[in-house]
Amino acid sequence: MEDFLLRLREAVSQELHLPAETPLPVSHTPFDQKGDITITLFGLAKRLGKNPAELAQHLQVILPRRLPEIADTELVKGFLNIRLSDAYRLAFLQRPPRPVIDPQPETIILEYPSPNTNKPLHLGHLRNIFLGQSIGRILEARGHTVIPVCLFNDRGTNICKSMWAWKELAHGATPETTGVKGDHFVGDYYVAYAKAQKEAVEALVRSGMTPEQAEKEARPAREVLKMLELWEAGDPETLALWKKMNQWVYEGFETTFRRLDVHFKKYYYESEVFHQARHIVEQGLAMGVFVRHPDGSVHAHLEEAGLGDKVILRANGTALYITQDLAVAEQKSRDFQFDRSVYVVGNEQDYHFKVLFEILRRLGAPGSDKLYHLSYGMVELPSGRMKSREGTVVDADPLLDEMREAARKAAQDAVKSLTLPPEEAENLYEAVGQGALRYHILRVDPRKKIVFNPEESVALQGDTGPFIQYTHARLRKLLRDAELAGFSLEEKTSDLKEGLIEPERAMVKQLWRFNTALEEAARNYNPAEVAHYAFQTAQRFSAYYQQVPILKETRPDVRNARLLLTRRVGEYLALSLHLLGIQAPEKM
RNA sequence: GUUCCCGUAGCUCAGCUGGAUAGAGCAACAGCCUUCUAAGCUGUGGGCCGCAGGUUCGAAUCCUGCCGGGAACGCCA
C-alpha cells in the first residue's frame, strides 16, 4: 500500500508540476464510498487556479496510465476516488503485515511507572503501565530503539510512615509470617500510620489545639520526621529497617510486573541519585540559572517563561522533588545515548514537567530539547477521586484477579463452551481478563480522565478486548481446520477466476489502513488509535465471516483466496493486540 | 486569582494535521444457532457536536469571548 501511495504522490506532483515537498491531500476513502484512496481536490484546484472538475479530468486520464494498479476512478463532488484492482489486492495479500519504519529511527528512553515504595500498585499505576508498555511497543514497531526504565521513589516521608507504623504495631511480623504479599504488607502499615495520626490529631484538637498545629504536634508525625532525619544522617538501625521494608515492596512489585509482562532495562533509585543533586545546584549557580537567596535557599526564576519562582534547594540545604528529577535526568544522559526521553506521568504533574524541562534547557543538558511528558488523565471512580486515606483506592492485584474471574465465568457461561487442559484454561482466563482491562483503558485518549466503572470494565461484549481476541481465536480455529483438511494456505498468487467480492475488497481496504493507524499512534503517543483499528478490523471480519462461507466454499480458487485473506486478518489482529500489550489466544 | 485540560446519542467513547448524509459500543426494541466457536451477526429508534460570534468555497474540527466540569500553581512527592 505504502509503495502505491508514494508513486501516486509522485505522479500527481509531476503531472501538476508541483514543488517536490508539497503535501498532498491523499487519504483512505470512507467505507460508505466506492473507492480505496481519495485525493481531495478543492485545495489543489484553488492553488492551480482550476476548478476541481477539470483537474479531475486531467488526473483521471493520466493516473491510470502511470499506475497500473488503478482499476477505476470516479469524481464525487470535489473528491477523486481511486479504486484499486483485485490483482493489486491479491498481491498485497501475499505478504504478512509490515509496519512502516520511521524514516529517522531514534533511541528513546521511556520512563514509567515510577511508583513510591510505601504502598502497592493501584489502578492509576495500571493505566500508566498499560500506556507505557503499549507506547513502547508502538515505537519499536516504528523502528525505534526503546529503553524502558523505572524510577523508584524509595525515600522520604512516605516510606518513613510505613516504617514508623511497622515498628509501632507489627511486633516483628513479616510478609513471610503473615503470608501477605510484600507491597501490600507495607501498604497496610502506611494505612495504619494514617489512622494513628488521625486519632492523635483528633485527641489534640479535643484538648484545644488548632487542627493545623495538631497535624504537626501529633506523635506519629513528629516521630516520622525524626525518623527521616535519622535516615538522612545514616543511622544504621533506620537504614536497615528501610532496606528491609523496601525489599518486601520490590518483591511484591516484581510479582505484579511479571504478571503484566513488564520489563525494564534499568532501575533508578531516588535514594541513590539524590546525592548528586548538590553538584547540579552548584553548576546551575555557576551558570546563573539558579540564584541563592539570603536565607540560603536556591531558586530558579522562571517568571518570564510563565512558570514563576521555583525553589530548587531548601534553606536548610536539603533537596526537593524537582532537584532529584534534575539529577535523574543527568544520570540518564550519562547512562544512555538517546535521541528522545519520554516520561509517562499523570497530568497532575504537568506544571512540574514544564519547570523541569525549562530548567534542563537552561542548564544546556544533553538532549534537553528532546524531552516529552506523556501526560495522561487521572483514573477516577464513580464516587470521585481515589483517596488512599479514605480507603477508596482500587489496588492492582485484586483487580487483576477479578478480571480473571470474570473471564472464567464468561467462558463457563458461553453458549458453546470449550474444554481446555486446566493449565491452558488458566492462562486463557488471565489473558482475557487482562485483555478486557487493558483495552478498556487504552481505548480512550490518554489525555482524558477515565471514570472507572467496574461493571463496564468487565464487559466482554461489543467494543472490548475480548471481542477482538474472540474474533482472532475463531479465525485461527478455521485456519487449523483448513490445514487439517489439507487446503492451501500458501502465499502463492491465487488464480481467481471471478475476482473478489465487495466484502473482501472492503476487508483488504481495512488492512491497508493499519500503517496509518500505527503512524498516528506513534506520532501522538496514543495507543487508542491502534485500539480503534483493532476493533474495526475485528468487527468487519466478524461480519464477513458471518455472511461468506470460507472453509465450506467449494470452488478451490475462491476458498484458497478466502483462507489467505483470513490468515492475513488474523496476523493484523494479533499484531494490533500485541501493540496494545494484549495476547491473541489461539482458542477461546 | 493565573495557567492548563475537557464539554459529540440516555451512558462510555471515535471522528487524524478543516472536507462527502456526524459514527461505534452499551442500554431499549425486533430478528438469526440441524450450516466454519452466538464472547457472534442483521435491523429499528435515538444528535441546536455546551452557547455566541469570526475565518473559509466548506467548521464537531481552526480563532475569540462566554457558560459548565476538572486539575495544577508548596522550602510536599
A453 touches strand B (CB under 7 A): yes
Distance (Å, whole) CA A504 – CA A508: 6
Q: Among all strands, which nt has the closest C1' to A378 (CA)? A: B71
A451 touches strand B (CB under 7 A): yes
A316 touches strand B (CB under 7 A): yes
H-helix or E-strand containing A560? Answer: helix A556-579
**How many beta carbons lie within 10 A of that of residue A429, not counting itself?**
21
Q: Among all strands, which nt has the closest C1' to A532 (CA)? A: B14
**How many beta carbons lie within 10 A of that of residue A211, not counting itself?**
10
Closest to A519 (Cα-Cα) out of A143, A226, A120: A143
Distance (Å, whole) CA A534 – CA A520: 14
| Nearest amino-acid residue to B42, taking CA and C1' | A543
A447 touches strand B (CB under 7 A): yes
Kindly report whether the peptide bond that precedes residue A113 is cis, defined as omega within 30 degrees of 0.
yes
C-alpha cell of residue A209:
489545639
C-alpha cell of residue A106:
531514534
CA distances, A51 to each of A16, A29, A45, A54, A109 (Å)? 14, 21, 5, 6, 49
Tell me the three state secondary structure of residue A375.
strand
Is the ipTM, as predicted for this complex, more than 0.90? yes
Distance A312 CA to B10 C1' (A): 51
Distance (Å, whole) CA A74 – CA A340: 44
C-alpha cell of residue A105:
529511527
Whether the CB-CB separation of A44 and A55 falls below 8 Å is answered with yes
Whether the CB-CB separation of A541 and A507 falls below 8 Å is answered with yes
pLDDT for position A77: 85
Nucleotides of B under 7 A from a protein CB: 3-6, 12-16, 19-21, 23-27, 33, 35-42, 57-58, 70-77
A343 touches strand B (CB under 7 A): no
A311 touches strand B (CB under 7 A): yes
A53 touches strand B (CB under 7 A): no
What DSSP assignment string belongs to A80-114?
Answer: EEEEE-HHHHHHHTTS---PPPPSS--EEEEE---
Distance A587 CA to B29 C1' (A): 33
Closest to A188 (Cα-Cα) out of A202, A174, A203, A198: A174
The stretches of A233-304 forming alpha helices (DSSP H) are 236-260, 270-273, 277-287
Closest to A26 (Cα-Cα) out of A46, A49, A10, A14: A10
Distance (Å, whole) CA A329 – CA A325: 6
- Crossing angle between the packed helical segments A182-206 and A157-169, to the nearest 10 degrees: 90
A418 touches strand B (CB under 7 A): yes
Give the amino acid at A540.
R
Beta pairing, strands A37-40 & A79-84: antiparallel
The stretches of A414-489 forming alpha helices (DSSP H) are 422-442, 454-457, 465-484
Distance A443 CA to B48 C1' (A): 29
Query: Residues in chain A, how many?
Result: 588
Sorted by sequence, the CB contacts under 8 Å of residue A282 that are 6+ apart come out as none
The DSSP secondary-structure symbol of A1 reads -
User: What is the domain partition of chain A in residue ranges?
Assistant: 2-84, 406-579
pLDDT for position A419: 83
Distance A232 CA to B9 C1' (A): 58
Distance (Å, whole) CA A74 – CA A476: 37
Distance A107 CA to B4 C1' (A): 30
Q: Among all strands, which nt has the closest C1' to A38 (CA)? A: B20
User: For residue A369, with 0-12 CB atoms within 10 Å meaning exposed, 13-18 middle and 19 or more buried, which class applies?
Assistant: exposed
- The CATH H-level (homologous superfamily) assignment of domain A2-84 is Arginyl tRNA synthetase N-terminal domain (3.30.1360.70)
Distance A451 CA to B66 C1' (A): 28
Distance A370 CA to B59 C1' (A): 34
Distance A306 CA to B2 C1' (A): 10
Q: Among all strands, which nt has the closest C1' to A347 (CA)? A: B71
Closest to A146 (Cα-Cα) out of A330, A326, A342, A438: A342
- Rounded to the nearest angstrom, the gap between the alpha carbon of residue A418 and the centroid of all alpha carbons in its chain is 32
Distance (Å, whole) CA A496 – CA A560: 9
> Percentages helix, strand, coil for chain A, rounded to the nearest 5?
55, 15, 30
Distance (Å, whole) CA A464 – CA A461: 6
- Crossing angle between the packed helical segments A321-335 and A277-287, to the nearest 10 degrees: 90
Strand B proximity: list residues 132-161 of A with CB under 7 Å.
153, 156-158
pLDDT tens across the length of chain A (588 residues)? 888 999 999 899 888 888 777 778 899 999 988 899 999 998 888 888 888 888 898 899 999 999 999 999 999 888 999 999 999 999 999 999 999 999 999 999 999 999 999 999 999 999 999 999 999 999 999 999 999 999 999 988 889 999 999 999 999 999 999 999 999 999 999 999 989 998 999 999 898 888 888 888 899 999 998 998 899 889 999 999 999 999 999 999 999 999 999 999 999 999 998 888 888 999 999 999 999 999 999 999 998 888 889 999 988 888 888 998 999 999 999 999 999 999 999 999 999 999 999 999 999 988 888 899 999 999 988 888 887 767 788 999 999 999 999 999 999 888 776 788 999 999 999 999 999 999 999 999 999 999 898 888 899 999 999 999 999 999 999 999 999 888 877 656 556 777 899 999 999 999 999 999 999 999 999 999 999 999 999 999 999 999 999 999 988 889 999 999 999 999 999 999 999 999 999 999
H-helix or E-strand containing A372? Answer: strand A371-376
| Nearest amino-acid residue to B18, taking CA and C1' | A43
Say how many CA atoms lie within 13 Å of A27 toward its Cβ.
9
Tell me the three state secondary structure of residue A291.
strand
A312 touches strand B (CB under 7 A): no
Class of domain A406-579: mainly alpha
Distance A25 CA to B48 C1' (A): 32
Q: Among all strands, which nt has the closest C1' to A349 (CA)? A: B72
Computed on alpha carbons and rounded to an integer, the radius of gyration of chain A in Å comes to: 29
Q: Among all strands, which nt has the closest C1' to A463 (CA)? A: B25
Distance (Å, whole) CA A127 – CA A437: 9
CA distances, A279 to each of A131, A326, A330, A418 (Å)? 34, 11, 11, 63
pLDDT for position A211: 83
Strand B proximity: list residues 158-177 of A with CB under 7 Å.
158
Distance (Å, whole) CA A410 – CA A204: 53
